[in-house]
Structure 1
Amino acid sequence: MPVFPEEPEIHESLPGPGVPFPRESDAQALHAPATGGAPTAPTTTAAAPLPVPGPRSAPRPAPPRADRSGPPRLIPKPGPAPRRPAPAVPQVEVRRIAAVPAEALERADGTVDQLLDSGRNPGEILVLTVGEAHPWQQHELSFGEQRYWAQLTEGGDVFYADAALTRPARREVVVLVVNGGSPARAAEAYTEALGRATALLVVCGEAGPAAASSAGAAPGRPVKA
């Protein structure tokens, strides 16, 4: 019986140079048994999930702006402040009662009575004499100067004083009694009395710039508050 030589065994070898290395899926397909079913799709491995980014960091601070070149901007100087209107000076009404120096005190007492009867408060009236002190002033001074000046501070009654009063005293109504003294002294007393009155000045006698016109006034002319 003839002896046939054995066929050499074919071993799988690596592909030669220039031949692409077969993929793992192709190798599985070669070794898979042939069946009558449909060819199976090559399996793929799932990609690894991407790392989740952490919280967003704070925004970077903006770079400092470069200084603008050029001359500095000139700021206009403010103009003069507008002048405020001066406060209105209250007008003091001046009333005159013609009287000779011997009758000035009597006319002044009658004027004070009329002012009180019209509703004036006694503390609103100041009586100033140019000549001899009023009898009521002399009476109050008999109790001492401290008590006398306290009445001016308290302001509860009619206050009688000399026209050359140096202490600050202002009242709504001032009655100036020209019962003596020189015309120059009477004119000075008129200016001082006008500065102490806030509403009304009553001049009993001749004093002030309009003293000449008061000569025609009726003696004891009624004075209304």
Structure 2
Amino acid sequence: MPRPGTPRATPGRAASGRAERQRPGQGRGDRPQRGPEGQQGRPTARITVVEATPREALERADEAVDGLLEEGREPGDILVLTTGEIHPWQQHELSFGEASYWRQLDERGDVFYASAADARDAARPVVVLAVNGGDETTQAQALVAGLTRAGELLVVCGEQRRLSALIG
């Protein structure tokens, strides 16, 4: 099976007839600021919510990754987590075997895709969380995992009303 190229932003993507989506950090008054001091005096990651239904969450997460890459983020700085079905890129990478898949996490050479429940101790400057399924407990645990793994920015692709209820 031929291996697809690295997921990258593609020119002309917005020309597909879809409305241009809001990118992480754009609009809604978001400012590139650090959050309040977290545990042990460490600043917490800034959180951006991209509105998406569970069916749309993977697509919005892909768009967020494209936007981050276009803004100059290094692919190895980005971790994509899912709460429901695994991302197609994760499925693809797993087809080469578990050892090869997890080695990529340590190599940090590309965007890494994982289930929020199985992400081991993965940490990256940017975490994109696709809330594409799972029950409330799974989603709440994924939000905590995203926050603890994101060094600078957590982009959550999900329903803001539901996410607010989970955060409490």
**Do the structures match in fold with TM over 0.5?**
yes
> 2:117 — aligned with what?
164
Task: Give SS of 1:150's match.
Answer: helix
Question: Do 1:100 and 1:205's aligned partners in 2 also have CA atoms closer than 8 Å?
Answer: yes
Moved over 2 A (4+): 206-212
The match for 1:193 among 146, 164, 168 is 146
Show CA shifts across 1:162-203 (max 9, x none): 001252111000000011111221111101111000100000
Show CA shifts across 1:26-77 (max 9, x none): xxxxxxxxxxxxxxxxxxxxxxxxxxxxxxxxxxxxxxxxxxxxxxxxxxxx
Alignment-mate amino acid for residue 156 of structure 2: V
Question: Do 2:51 and 2:160's aligned partners in 1 also have CA atoms closer than 8 Å?
Answer: no
Task: Write the distance in 2 (CA, Å) between the matches of 1:92 and 1:199.
Answer: 4
Question: Do 2:44 and 2:147's aligned partners in 1 also have CA atoms closer than 8 Å?
Answer: no
* Alpha-carbon offset, residue 208 of structure 1: 9.5
Identity between Structure 1 and Structure 2 (%): 58
Residues 106-125 of structure 1 correspond to what in structure 2 (within 5 A)?
106-125=59-78
The match for 1:153 among 106, 112, 126 is 106
Aligned residues: 128
Show CA shifts across 1:115-173 (max 9, x none): 00000000000000000000000000001111101100100000000001252111000
Task: Write the distance in 2 (CA, Å) between the matches of 1:154 and 1:207.
Answer: 33
Task: Write the distance in 2 (CA, Å) between the matches of 1:114 and 1:188.
Answer: 26
Show CA shifts across 1:94-134 (max 9, x none): 00011110000100000000000000000000000000000
* Alpha-carbon offset, residue 87 of structure 1: 5.1
Residues 1-225 of structure 1 correspond to what in structure 2 (within 5 A)?
88-165=41-118, 167-206=120-159, 210-211=163-164
**TM-score relative to the length of structure 2:** 0.71
Question: Do 1:183 and 1:207's aligned partners in 2 also have CA atoms closer than 8 Å?
Answer: no
Task: Write the distance in 2 (CA, Å) between the matches of 1:124 and 1:208.
Answer: 28
Task: Give SS of 2:127's match.
Answer: strand
Give the superposed CA RMSD: 2.1
Unaligned regions of 5+ residues in structure 1, if any? 1-85, 213-225
Q: Which has the higher helix share?
A: 2
Q: Which has the higher strand share?
A: 2
Alignment-mate amino acid for residue 172 of structure 1: P
Task: Give SS of 2:109's match.
Answer: coil
